[in-house]
Amino acid sequence: MHPVFTNRAVAFVYLGVWTGLAVALSSLIRELSALSWGQALFLAGALCVLLGFMCMTPWYTCRTLPFSLTAGRKIAWNHGAAAIIATAIWVACARGLAREMGVNLRASVPILIALGLLLYYLSVAIHYAYFAVESSRQAALEARDAELRALKAQINPHFLFNSLNSIAALTVSDGRRAREMCIRLSEFLRNTLGLGERENIAWKEELDLVRAYLDVEKVRFGSRLEVEMNVADACSECQVPPLVLQPLIENAVKHGIATLVEGGKIRVDGEVKDGLLRVRVENKFDPDSPTPRRHGLGLRNVRTRLETRFGPSASVTARKDENSFGVEMVFPCHKTE
C-alpha cells in the first residue's frame, strides 16, 4: 500500500502539494485560454487529481527496480516509457475534458507535455529517495537488534576460563571453596543464559546476577577485589533492561581492579528519586598499566540500549580522572509492566 494511503502525515503533504499545483495550473490555463476562473479551477483540479494518482505509480515501478541494484539503462528505459505513457494519457484527458467545456487546448499541448513529464520524473526521484531513507532506517534497526542479541548472549570467555582455572586450583587446596565457586558461577551462567528472551527484569534480579559475578571474581582476585554496595531498597522493583549493570561492573574489574597491583574497591550506589533510578559505579585504576583491548564497548552498549529504550529521559555519563573512573546512569523507574 502506498504511504499516502497508510500514513496520515504523508497524505496531508501530498494533498497540500497537489492543491498548490492545481492553483498554479488553473492560472496557467487562464493565460492559455478564455476560461473563467471557476472553469479553469475545475479543469485544473480534475487534471491534478488524475496526475496525482498517476504520480503514485512509481511506488510499484521503483520497488521492482531498486536504484542500487538495477542497471542505469534499464532504469532510464522503464521509467522513461512509463513517463511517456502517463503523460500521453494525461494530455489526452486534458484535451478531451477541455473540448467538453468548449475550449481547444491544442496550442498548449507542448507545455502540458513538459509539465506532465517533469512532475512524473520528480515523483520517480522522490520515491527513490523515500526508499533509500526507508532502507537505511531498516538497516539501522536490524543492526541494533543484532547488537542487543549479541550483548545478551555474551559471556566473556576470559572470565569463564579464568574462573574454571581458579576452580581447578582450589579443588586440591580447598575443596569447599571450589564447590562454592562452582555454585556461584553456575548461578551467574544460568541467570545470564535465561535472559535472552526477556525485555525487562527487576532491578533486584540484575543485582543478584552482579553479586554472583562479583563473588566469582573475588575468588579469582582474592584480597585485591573489594566491593561496597549502597543500593536503596526502593530500587528493587524497578524494571530494567537485562544486563544493564553487569557490563559496567565487568569493566570496573577488567579495566580497574585487574590493573592494580594492590587491588582496590568497586563502589556501587543506587537510589530512586523523582521516579528516576540513579546508579553510580566507581573504581580506581592504574594509569600506568597497559589498556586492555575493546575499551569502552560495554559502556557504549549500555548507553545505546538505555537511549533506545527510554529516549532522552535516560543518560549515561562517564567521568575519568587521574586514577579513578566513575559511571552514572539515570533512567525512569517503571514498576512492573
Partner 1 sequence: MSQDGVKAIRAVLVDDEDLARQLLREYLEAEPGVEVVAECANGFEAVKAIGELKPDLIFLDVQMPKLDGFEVLELMDSSSNVIFVTAYDQYAMKAFDAHAIDYLLKPFATGRLKTALERARQRLAQHATAPPPAELSAAARPPGHTLDRVVVKDGTKVHIIPIDKLDYVEAQDDYIGLRSEKKLYLKQQTISSIETQLDSKKFIRVHRSYILNLERIARIEPFTKDSRVAVLQDGTQIPVSRAGHVRLKELLGEVG
Pairwise CA distance, residues 225 & 209, whole Å: 17
Among 104, 136, 165, 317, binds partner 1 (CB under 8 A): 165
* Nearest to partner 1 of 110, 157 (CB atom): 157
253 near partner 1 (CB under 8 A): no
320 near partner 1 (CB under 8 A): no
Q: Are 295 and 318 in contact (CB under 8 A)?
A: no
Q: Which of 223, 199, 195 has its CA nearest to residue 210?
A: 195
DSSP one-letter code for 177:
H
Chain positions 221 to 240 lying near partner 1, rule: CB under 8 A, are 221-222
5-13, 32-40, 147-155, 220-228 -> range binding partner 1 (CB under 8 A): 220-228
Give least dist CB 173 to partner 1, A.
7
Q: Which of 149, 152, 268, 130 has its CA nearest to residue 201?
A: 152
* Nearest to partner 1 of 127, 220 (CB atom): 220
Among 112, 240, 243, 258, binds partner 1 (CB under 8 A): 258
Pairwise CA distance, residues 11 & 334, whole Å: 36
Chain positions 104 to 163 lying near partner 1, rule: CB under 8 A, are 157-158, 161-162
Pairwise CA distance, residues 264 & 20, whole Å: 70
Strands 264-273 and 225-231: parallel
**Which grid coordinates belong to 40?**
479553469
189 near partner 1 (CB under 8 A): no
215-223, 236-244, 265-273, 303-311 -> range binding partner 1 (CB under 8 A): 215-223
1-9, 48-56, 238-246, 282-290 -> range binding partner 1 (CB under 8 A): 282-290
**Which grid coordinates belong to 115?**
509539465
Among 220, 280, 284, 303, binds partner 1 (CB under 8 A): 220
Pairwise CA distance, residues 52 & 50, whole Å: 5
59-64 long-range contacts (CB < 8 A, ≥24 apart) are 59/2, 59/127, 61/124, 62/124, 62/127, 62/128, 62/131, 63/131
* Nearest to partner 1 of 144, 179 (CB atom): 179
Element (H, E) at 329: strand 324-332
289 near partner 1 (CB under 8 A): yes
* Nearest to partner 1 of 72, 290 (CB atom): 290
Element (H, E) at 335: strand 334-335
- Cβ atoms within 10 Å, residue 166: 20
85-93, 136-144, 259-267, 320-328 -> range binding partner 1 (CB under 8 A): 259-267
Q: Which of 306, 267, 305, 303 has its CA nearest to residue 284?
A: 267
312 near partner 1 (CB under 8 A): no
Among 9, 69, 172, 312, binds partner 1 (CB under 8 A): 172
291 near partner 1 (CB under 8 A): yes
* Nearest to partner 1 of 205, 217 (CB atom): 217
* Nearest to partner 1 of 46, 169 (CB atom): 169
**Which grid coordinates belong to 336?**
512492573
* Nearest to partner 1 of 64, 173 (CB atom): 173
Chain positions 25 to 84 lying near partner 1, rule: CB under 8 A, are none
219 near partner 1 (CB under 8 A): yes
- The packing angle between helices 109-153 and 297-310, to 10°, is 120
Binding site for partner 1 (CB under 8 A): 157-158, 161-162, 164-170, 172-173, 219-222, 258-261, 286, 288-293
